[in-house]
Amino acid sequence: MSDLSYSPEPVASSSRKRKSAGSGAKRATKKSRGKKSPPDPYETAKSHVESVLAAPESFRLPEDDQEIREMIATIAQYTKSLEGSIAVAQTGRDAPPLKTAQQIQKEASTIKGVINRGIKKLMTWKSTCTEGRAKYAFECVCSDPRVFGAVLGLDKPPTWATKKYTSEEFESFVGHVQGEVRYAYLYLTSNVTIRYNSETGELIVSGSYGKRS
């Protein structure tokens, strides 16, 4: 009996069990980190609106003219953002989160760069480039219709699924598109067709390119 109580195997087994229990206890005490909500870009505007609605006949205006202008501008930007969200919701999608005009323009600028660079990469040399008949079709995703509208110089989401622009109009949106191969430069040579699915955000830009005659 004495030999069994001091057998090394049960001791090792007990030690392993204690270690496992301890590590489990540590895992149990860990707290999951929740994601922080992004700051509300229109918190100030909402506060102004609430103050006006709470006392429409007696709410206080700032004393300084510049502060009054800033107050009105903040509310106007908030209203414009709501209009954009409503326009998207009318397409059957859930209304997207509110964004300031600056946020929308920043995202639009990124999409413009993606489109410009994407088309340039597709402008490789083909025999039809000599006649300006080489084809390209660039695909990407712009999940926010308000941002896509801003890409095209609109102040709201587009209401169409397919639209054609001249190459000059298109380049006024995304910048000059020029490919380069050995001994030649390549340009857009036809109208540009844009297809946009507002539900999935899928965007397809297609047309022709090649050497200029």
Of 127 and 98, which is predicted with more confidence? Answer: 127
- For 136-187, what is each residue's pLDDT tens digit? 999 999 999 999 999 999 988 999 999 999 999 999 999 999 999 998 999 9
In angstroms, the CA 165 to CA 147 distance is: 18
Q: Is 23 exposed, middle or buried (0-12, 13-18, 19+ CB in 10 A)?
A: exposed
Mean pLDDT of the chain: 80
Given this model, what pLDDT does residue 12 score? Answer: 46
Given this model, what pLDDT does residue 16 score? Answer: 46
Given this model, what pLDDT does residue 67 score? Answer: 77
Cα angle value 95/56/40 (rounded, 5°): 35
User: pLDDT exceeding 70 applies to what percent of the chain?
Assistant: 70
Given this model, what pLDDT does residue 34 score? Answer: 54
In angstroms, the CA 20 to CA 27 distance is: 11
For the chain, domain boundaries = 43-89, 101-210
Where are the alpha helices (H) located in 30-156, listed in sequence order? 43-54, 65-89, 101-122, 145-151
Give the helix/strand (H/E) hosting 14: helix 8-29
Residue 193 contacts residue 205 (beta carbons within 8 Å): yes
